[in-house]
Amino acid sequence: MRLRASRTLIVLVALSLSLAACGKKAPPRWVVRKAPDAVTDVRVHYRPDQVLLQWKAPEGKQAAEDYALYRAKDGGEPEQIAVVKGTKYIDRDIVPLGAYTYEVVARAGQGMEGPRVPAGTVGARDALPLPEAVSISVEPDGVVITWKTILDISGFNVYRSAEPGRFPPAPRNPVLIRDGRYEEMPDTDKPYYYMVRAAMLSTDGDLFVEGPGSAPVSVAPEDFVPSMPGGMDIAPTGEKVVVFWNENPERWVKGYKVYRAVGKGGEFIEIGTPMSLAFPDRNPPKGILRYRVSALGPAAEGPMSETVEIEYLGP
């Protein structure tokens, strides 16, 4: 009897604790999930070797977890080709003679999809001519890429890479270039390669088509050769001789070298590498002194200036 009573007491205690715990629970809440709104501002960027799609995320309260991309080739039925997390996709599985139509769908959890948003059809009919006569030159303000302009296109894009044949998807220019010239000041401590593509916008500005890339042109640190410094002057000041010159026009000049020769037939020897436009020769010997200056580029020294001469008699 005692054992049966103990078991009954244990069951009653457990039941009372269970009921007490149930009383503390909040009522269940149902989470209503909705399909996201449609993506907006879908843009297609066509090249003969790839198609770049970009879009903006839905603006509704239901955020998109990812995006499904569909593609129809040559007027066929759309097929899913990718699911991505971001708002950009590069389709490299294309052939130059194909015609492609794309659709972008925002997706939420539990398989909920927003409306399909079509993009324009691109393909061989959009092929643009190859830019010709592309060349590069080094100027005082940087490098200048020029090419022959093409009629009946929207403009050009210029691409830059530190490796030949591996250009990024984004051009250097923020807007299309209308003429045949692009100028910039790159990092002069390493070589760069440039390529030009012709581009065409659709009538509504959304469809962005590019032609094949031009043959690359390159520039290297040793191509930045400064011009000869000008405005040479000289003045003795007590125990030193000060040499002056004008600033070089090149933005990429790294400094200057000063040379001195003793006597009419003496050899010019480097005596300093100032960053400024004046150099004090603090230990000049007496006699005929001749001075010349050169400007320094990233990897090359420019030509020496004209010679200035003075007869130094000492302090």
**pLDDT tens-digit profile of 229-285?**
999 999 998 899 999 999 999 999 999 999 999 999 999 999 999 999 999 999 899
Q: How many residues does the chain have?
A: 315
Q: What does the pLDDT read at residue 34?
A: 82
Q: Which residue has the higher pLDDT, 145 or 59?
A: 145
Q: What does the pLDDT read at residue 14?
A: 44
Average pLDDT over residues 68-73: 95
Residue 24, pLDDT above cutoff 60: no
Q: What does the pLDDT read at residue 8?
A: 43
Least confident of 19-28, 82-91, 104-113: 19-28
Average pLDDT over residues 207-232: 94
Residue 103, pLDDT above cutoff 60: yes
Pairing of strands 155-161, 217-219: unpaired
Q: Report the C-alpha gap between 238 and 234 in whole angstroms.
A: 13
The confidence band for 121, taking pLDDT boundaries of 50, 70 and 90, is: confident
The confidence band for 206, taking pLDDT boundaries of 50, 70 and 90, is: low
Q: What does the pLDDT read at residue 155?
A: 94
Which residue segments constitute the domains of the chain, with CATH numbers given? 40-125 (2.60.40.10), 128-221 (2.60.40.10), 233-312 (2.60.40.10)
CB-based contact 221:191 (threshold 8 Å): yes
The CA distances from residue 52 to 67, 95, 116, 156, 157, in Å, are 15, 14, 18, 17, 15
